Structure 1
């Protein structure tokens, strides 16, 4: 496919300028910094076009930033800023055409915003998607529907599917919020409650006082991805364990003239993982998955999942069966699992992202501001041909150190990586072997102006 190329650079030469590669988001209603919760590069940026990065914040604002390489004394290009929410935004995704942005928020809604330059910031919100009963955590656009269909997953354990075309002609009727109709609100066409189990309601009264026995906590949906750009299958992960589920959402779309209610018979998963890889490395306790990244290029047919057990597990994408977890402990001898002695991912706000070339996998960390990069393109070949031996050197992570606190959100463009941290910074990392060599030659002096990769 056109958007995948063979990278000619090495992440071990990544550097980041303290002046030209650091971005911050000022709060729209005050003089303080607004923490970036999530980020995403446009599809054009991943193909080598203008590197437009969407940043979404704790206060519900979205900043679209041009991260083109610049000199220390150059001004930052003009950014686009608007506020689709008044609560934290936990996911932002570009539509396939890069003309729309979908955002998922703690206000229990997802929203669709226009990026048309002629539209004012106050009028960018086109649709308000309401159907979840709790925080909306993740979003995935259907790659086959050209920006008209998307899926969302929530902390309530449900998956909702939305057809923006089905909302035409009825969106202004909206939904009732605080007693008043909400312009632009539409309902989902498919709802899958309890997609990863435990969709239970309180049981009947128990005892004299007639108290309801509370239901078990919902298992949140933590990540949604389509298996590839030509597949109708949606893959989901949950907060309870490492079992993934695949959904076939192909069904007649709701007519614009018919009922606007969601389908009453939710789909069943096409398949699920038969084994939980988070339970087979010396522990019986299941751990949830925080983020998914489907492979492509040299990693096509694989699915990478970041677990709360501080490991990245590899699954077979067609079957969702785990490839990792079968090696004799320690896990560092597993050719399909990725980890680091300092890696801590026991937070559902830490994510991973695969480079557009399909070779490099990056993940954040719950503490100390570090980012870890793994050469999964090389180790995938090792894993597929284990009879040729295990190459531990390829499994070692490259570390990026330049921020503080949790580094949860990150994403790749064609030749750069953006990382977001609790210290309110967004840092851009780029390969530059000349600057890297200068940093190695004079670390004390260069450390005033640069951060750089640490090789294993």
Structure 2
């Protein structure tokens, strides 16, 4: 049986039966020149369109929902909101630093390192901390599992952050910088589930939120009304990841611990409940000599390999890229080519997969699964970054799914089922949470991700609270990290404060947290 995930004792107990549960920069103006986004491009969009699963605990489970050796890293499992008229981030103007040409393998001239900016990240213990209040009477705070900035925030708008918790609650937080004496702003609260939410995503108009939960449903919440307007069914186990189709506002996909990928069309529904219009069974099972995936049934059925990440391709919106829990092989699915499995549900065709597994690239190493998947932009457009169970971040080419020879890691980085990976809007940085005693998050400069030569660059460690750090996400001038003690912490680049914290560390540690690097 997998080891249970350590957590804050004040919040985990009451939910046991209901959850699844270099040198510093010279001036701050230099930082702002990297961080301030340009004026956004204008584009037109169509206007947007104006329940419950079984309770179960997936953190420690048995039977059909328990994990096998290949899945062993899993621990089992008032802000006013306005409709956003900005473009989707893939079509928006990016940060000024990302206006450079994106790197290609073997390029002669590397990008200037921005590691000094990451090293200057600080977080105030008073004005950069937000609390996730419990909805239960016998606990004060609840652990946040995932977070996501709106598309408007990632384009330089109001920094609205959606935080999903163990209790199935969503908090909408305005993470704008405030003074130390200012009270914590009131959060907008939604309650789409009564079980843990493991992934949360905004639609392209920032009017809807999709949530993937341990109750085996994906739900669509309307931010205008504050209610869940659709329940998407089709999975038989915990849903791990969800993604909106950037080219069509009514389409989205989700992957789960049952090894299934479901694609839904929100226009197809009956009494607010929708079944998938396409599904991919055993998406990351082994492929036999006949080219078909091995799907065992009945008494001989093996534990399914979890679908841990899904991305719609930037180059072709009809292609879906996925990762699994058993190895570092990515697979690409063509949503236009499908074979009928029944009268209603079709299965997309697998058009390509990674030629080699980077997680098994060293001698005597077994393959390790992927935990979280994100795509690059700007300087890293055309790349995919994957956090693996061996605590390394691997880089893949989006079109070929081939992995580059380098990876990113930190000596204190550990992973589990709850740790997420996020890429910054500028495309130069990625951040990840971390498990284990240290309770830290980590940030890396990935501008030169395709260069296999040159010095290896480690990341910076962001020490905030005790316990695990799971969900992370970026806005142009800030990084949000979720901690197991019920806190959400915002990190910002501030050279002057960072210098003072280094000189007066004993005094400043009561008021600030700051980055550390090897």
Question: In which range does the TM-score fall when normalised by the shorter chain?
Answer: 0.7 to 0.9
Deviation larger for 283-292 or 85-94:
283-292
Match of 1:210 in 2: none
- 1:93-132 equivalences under 5 Å are 93-116=201-224, 119=225, 121=226, 124-132=227-235
Distance 1:13 1:284 in 2: 36
What is the alpha-carbon root mean square deviation over aligned residues?
1.9
Maintained 8 Å contact 1:227/1:317: yes
Distance 2:265 2:465 in 1: 39
- Paired residues in the alignment total 400
Which of 469, 475, 479 aligns to 1:407? It is: 469
CA offsets 1:5-36 (integer angstroms, 9 cap, x no match): 13598121110001111111111232421110
**Counterparts in 2 of 1:153 and 1:262: CA distance versus 1, 3 Å:** farther
SS at match of 1:382: coil
Distance 2:136 2:344 in 1: 37
CA offsets 1:252-287 (integer angstroms, 9 cap, x no match): 9x9xxxxx96424x1121100111111112234111
Match of 2:303 in 1: 217
Which of 64, 81, 95 aligns to 1:5? It is: 95
Deviation larger for 359-368 or 148-157:
359-368
Q: Which runs of 5+ in 2 are unaligned?
A: 1-90, 98-113, 287-293
SS at match of 1:250: strand
Distance 1:453 1:230 in 2: 38
Which of 434, 453, 456 aligns to 2:515? It is: 453
**Counterparts in 2 of 1:453 and 1:261: CA distance versus 1, 3 Å:** farther
Match of 1:59 in 2: 167
Query: Post-superposition shift, 1:2?
Result: 2.9
Match status 1:160 vs 2:246:
no
CA offsets 1:196-251 (integer angstroms, 9 cap, x no match): 11663434xxxxxxxxx341110010011122276332110001111100112136
**Counterparts in 2 of 1:292 and 1:82: CA distance versus 1, 3 Å:** same
Distance 2:411 2:145 in 1: 25
Match of 2:377 in 1: 296
Match of 1:46 in 2: 154
Maintained 8 Å contact 2:277/2:345: yes
SS at match of 1:10: helix
Which of 402, 406, 414 aligns to 1:344? It is: 414
Distance 1:43 1:156 in 2: 30
Match of 1:370 in 2: 440
Match of 1:193 in 2: 281
Distance 1:277 1:447 in 2: 39
SS at match of 1:278: helix
Match status 1:26 vs 2:133:
yes
SS at match of 1:196: coil
Distance 2:432 2:511 in 1: 24
Distance 2:344 2:192 in 1: 24
Query: Post-superposition shift, 1:398?
Result: 1.2
| Structure 1 runs (4+) greater than 4 angstroms displaced | none
Which of 58, 69, 78 aligns to 2:177? It is: 69
Distance 1:284 1:103 in 2: 35
SS at match of 2:348: coil
Distance 1:100 1:431 in 2: 30
Match status 1:137 vs 2:223:
no
Q: Which runs of 5+ in 1 are unaligned?
A: 173-183, 204-212, 255-259, 325-335
**Counterparts in 2 of 1:261 and 1:38: CA distance versus 1, 3 Å:** farther
**Counterparts in 2 of 1:56 and 1:229: CA distance versus 1, 3 Å:** farther
Maintained 8 Å contact 1:3/1:356: no
Maintained 8 Å contact 1:144/1:229: no
Deviation larger for 24-33 or 149-158:
24-33
- 1:225-240 equivalences under 5 Å are 225-228=311-314, 231-240=317-326
